[in-house]
A and B are shown apart, each in its own frame.
Chain A
Amino acid sequence: MSPLLAVRGVSKSFGGLHAVRAVSFDLSAGEILGIIGPNGAGKSTLFGIIAGQVRPDRGDVVFDGRSIVGLPCEAVARLGLVKTFQTSRPFGTMTFLENVMVGALSRNVGLAEARAIALQQLDTVGLAAQAERPAAWASTGQRKRLEIARALATKPRLLLLDEPFGGVDLPSVDALVELLQRLRDSGITLLVIEHNLEAVHRLVDRVIAMHLGEAIAEGTAETVTNDPRVIQAYLGSTEVAHA
């Protein structure tokens, strides 16, 4: 079976800085793939390339058998590949519900149906009680979940989550892990950038570690986090992995 997503040697530099260097990997439908690596490793840039927000200097991205490099990000999203932002970007003058309705509207439904879909998705991420509150009031953790609900409302096939556990307090980590597993069970393929290695261990089928723009290790969470190069990468950065 051909992979749902194939990333083929993508590179991107900003000025002289190689943010992403010749990264390649495949992702099969139904898989959860984690991407780890210290800050500045190029993870978010790689996500931007896949989602059509950053144009790579070289390389190709094939989604569902079709090259999507050069498509604008809205066209990529309409194909069913949706990405959340590392720093959540809720619609600030809207309520939680309205935020998610925007996602639902991309399915070409009317407002009434969009509202029904949105309520359902808010319920999925555990924010149903907040439906009427202004999104501007959301805590960091709520924003993360709100953005997931908004993306889910578009009915994506592949969901890219940039640090979904950032700002989520400890009890909610369990709930979030469980949510993402449920999403996978419902048929959504997930590509997740994550710092929280404990969550990564419980969640993913496979991990890719990045450092200085390169993919330096790939395998199960166990093998990758014990890989000396990966440990060295984390130790070499100011950030210390908490595991």
Chain B
Amino acid sequence: MTGTSRAYPVVALSGLLLLLGVLLALPLYIADRPFELRMAILIFLFAVMGQGWNVLGGFAGQVSIGHGLYFGLGAYTAVLLAVKFGVNPWLGMLAGTALASLCGVLVGIPCFRLRGHYFVIATLVVAESVFQVFTVWEWVGSAVGIELPVKSEGWINFQFHRDKTPYYYIALTMLVVVTAGLWWLRRSRIGFLLRAIRDDEEAVRSLGFSPHLYKSLAMAISAGILGAAGVFHAQYVLFVDPFSVLGLHISVMVALFAILGGTGTLAGPILGAAILVPLSEYSRVHFSGSGRNVDLLIYGFLIMVIAVYRPDGLMGLLRSRPVLTMLDRLGLRSVLLQSPHIKNIRKGNSHAA
């Protein structure tokens, strides 16, 4: 389905290309600054995770605070395949993605029967249970975790030791691919029905659709993206342990990043990661050792602020009146805010309030 050319102004496209150009060139400036490079990589990684979370939490409206589970499963799959069976990490990424997807669908079978808070709590309980199992399961390294054996660096081994910029480009590529894929998904039939399910599941059923089927599809995509991100993370730090990939803080951060940015939008999770990752990294530096707790304080505070003032996140700011007026001038409103399915209708009828 194509929109009219007017609906996609040159402004928007060139803006995106410019941003992409800047991001592609950025390593020229930060390649020898480990702190900034690491921060950029983490922003991309969390943006990817936020996008993944958003498919289920935003598009389909099923808020999960157990998505660390799929991140962790992806990471563990690649590491275990490499350590126990000598499998190449890129194959590990495929396997990690597939396994995370599958587990997501299985978790959905009981959980999708639950609504609202009950669903949220169920996702949390499932993720926490798996976390507990991994802390005592010897074969997967229990609480100590597993190190990836260091190999010669290069693209085939997905390991880079002196210069970390390849990780930057891999993470950026993942973000671009995922975002483009979700852009397409949102415009597809599936994306459309997910929106309807988010609005009113009973009404969707009454029209002949199985909400479970579509929620499972959303879950498969969502969990798969988290799984792929987990594999990347394992290759980046060459290590997995239950706390760092399956811990509750991962689940909370992913959900929070997407919610802060704005659920259901494509820019939201990227915005959320771009703001919160630096916040968390700087607080870690400034409050050394205990940094993690300060993160959590800030996150808790943000959750309250969002809940009270901006339930639709930062992207919701775009819908405030002054911003709308500005977007109209630039011709960007339809690009950023309008639902993707109604472009072809004549303008001019019935916009009176």
Interface residues of A (CB under 8 A from B): 51, 53, 72-75, 77-78, 82-85, 89-95, 97-98, 101-103, 105-106, 110-112, 115, 129-133, 150-151, 154
Whether the pair B203, A93 counts as a contact (CB closer than 8 A) is: no
Whether the pair A101, B199 counts as a contact (CB closer than 8 A) is: no
Residue B153 is within 8 A (CB to CB) of chain A in the complex = no
Whether the pair A94, B206 counts as a contact (CB closer than 8 A) is: no
- Name 5 A/B residue pairs within 8 A (Cβ), A-sorted: A91-B200, A93-B198, A112-B1, A132-B342, A154-B208
Residue of B189, B202, B211, B342 touching A105 (CB-CB under 8 A): B189
Whether the pair A91, B210 counts as a contact (CB closer than 8 A) is: no
Residue of A102, A112, A129 touching B196 (CB-CB under 8 A): A102
Residue of B1, B189, B209 touching A74 (CB-CB under 8 A): B209
* Least Cβ–Cβ distance between B99 and chain A, in angstroms: 30
10 shortest A-B CB distances, which residue pairs? A77-B208, A91-B199, A106-B208, A78-B208, A89-B203, A102-B196, A74-B205, A103-B207, A89-B200, A91-B196
Residue of B206, B211, B339 touching A83 (CB-CB under 8 A): B206
Compute how far the CA of A107 lies from the CA of B84 in the bound complex, rounded to whole angstroms. 49
Known: A91-B203, A102-B196, A105-B192. Contact between A132 and B208, CB under 8 A? no
Residue B344 is within 8 A (CB to CB) of chain A in the complex = yes
Neighbouring B residues of A105 by C-beta, 8 Å: 189, 192-193, 209
* Least Cβ–Cβ distance between B35 and chain A, in angstroms: 41
Q: Which partner residue on chain A sits nearest B352 by CB separation? A: A133
Residue B161 is within 8 A (CB to CB) of chain A in the complex = no
Known: A91-B199, A105-B192. Contact between A132 and B206, CB under 8 A? no
Whether the pair B208, A74 counts as a contact (CB closer than 8 A) is: yes
Neighbouring A residues of B202 by C-beta, 8 Å: 53, 85, 89
Known: A95-B342, A98-B342, A150-B207. Contact between A132 and B196, CB under 8 A? no
Neighbouring B residues of A75 by C-beta, 8 Å: 208
Whether the pair B341, A111 counts as a contact (CB closer than 8 A) is: yes
Whether the pair A97, B342 counts as a contact (CB closer than 8 A) is: yes
Known: A91-B195, A92-B200, A94-B339. Contact between A72 and B205, CB under 8 A? yes
Known: A129-B350, A131-B345. Contact between A111 and B1, CB under 8 A? yes
Whether the pair A77, B196 counts as a contact (CB closer than 8 A) is: no
Known: A95-B342, A115-B344. Contact between A77 and B200, CB under 8 A? no
Compute how far the CA of A72 lies from the CA of B202 in the bound complex, rounded to whole angstroms. 11
Whether the pair B345, A132 counts as a contact (CB closer than 8 A) is: yes
Residue B321 is within 8 A (CB to CB) of chain A in the complex = no
Q: How many A-B residue pairs have CB under 8 A?
A: 101
Compute how far the CA of A150 lies from the CA of B339 in the bound complex, rounded to whole angstroms. 19
Compute how far the CA of A93 lies from the CA of B207 in the bound complex, rounded to whole angstroms. 17
Compute how far the CA of A138 lies from the CA of B339 in the bound complex, rounded to whole angstroms. 18
Neighbouring B residues of A112 by C-beta, 8 Å: 1
Count, chain B residues at interface, CB 8 A: 29
Residue B204 is within 8 A (CB to CB) of chain A in the complex = yes
Whether the pair B342, A74 counts as a contact (CB closer than 8 A) is: no
Q: Which partner residue on chain A sits nearest B348 by CB separation? A: A132
Compute how far the CA of A77 lies from the CA of B208 in the bound complex, rounded to whole angstroms. 5
Q: Which partner residue on chain A sits nearest B349 by CB separation? A: A129
* Least Cβ–Cβ distance between A222 and chain B, in angstroms: 33
Q: Within residues 321 to 353 of chain B, which ones have a CB less than 8 A from any CB in chain A? A: 339, 341-342, 344-345, 349-351
Whether the pair A98, B339 counts as a contact (CB closer than 8 A) is: yes
* Least Cβ–Cβ distance between B250 and chain A, in angstroms: 29
Whether the pair B206, A53 counts as a contact (CB closer than 8 A) is: yes
Residue of B198, B200, B207, B344 touching A106 (CB-CB under 8 A): B207
Neighbouring B residues of A103 by C-beta, 8 Å: 207
Neighbouring A residues of B209 by C-beta, 8 Å: 74, 105-106
Whether the pair B208, A82 counts as a contact (CB closer than 8 A) is: yes
* Least Cβ–Cβ distance between A25 and chain B, in angstroms: 22
* Least Cβ–Cβ distance between B57 and chain A, in angstroms: 15
Compute how far the CA of A45 lies from the CA of B211 in the bound complex, rounded to whole angstroms. 22
Neighbouring A residues of B207 by C-beta, 8 Å: 74, 77, 82, 102-103, 106, 150-151, 154
Residue of A73, A95, A115 touching B339 (CB-CB under 8 A): A95
Neighbouring B residues of A84 by C-beta, 8 Å: 206
Neighbouring B residues of A92 by C-beta, 8 Å: 199-200
Compute how far the CA of A74 lies from the CA of B339 in the bound complex, rounded to whole angstroms. 26
Q: Within residues 181 to 227 of chain B, which ones have a CB less than 8 A from any CB in chain A? A: 187-189, 192-193, 195-196, 198-200, 202-211
Compute how far the CA of A167 lies from the CA of B229 in the bound complex, rounded to whole angstroms. 52
Known: A89-B200, A93-B199, A94-B196. Contact between A130 and B208, CB under 8 A? no
Neighbouring A residues of B1 by C-beta, 8 Å: 110-112
Contact bitstring B156-179, A, C-beta under 8 A = 1, else 0: 000000000000000000000000
Q: Which partner residue on chain A sits nearest B339 by CB separation? A: A98
Neighbouring A residues of B188 by C-beta, 8 Å: 111
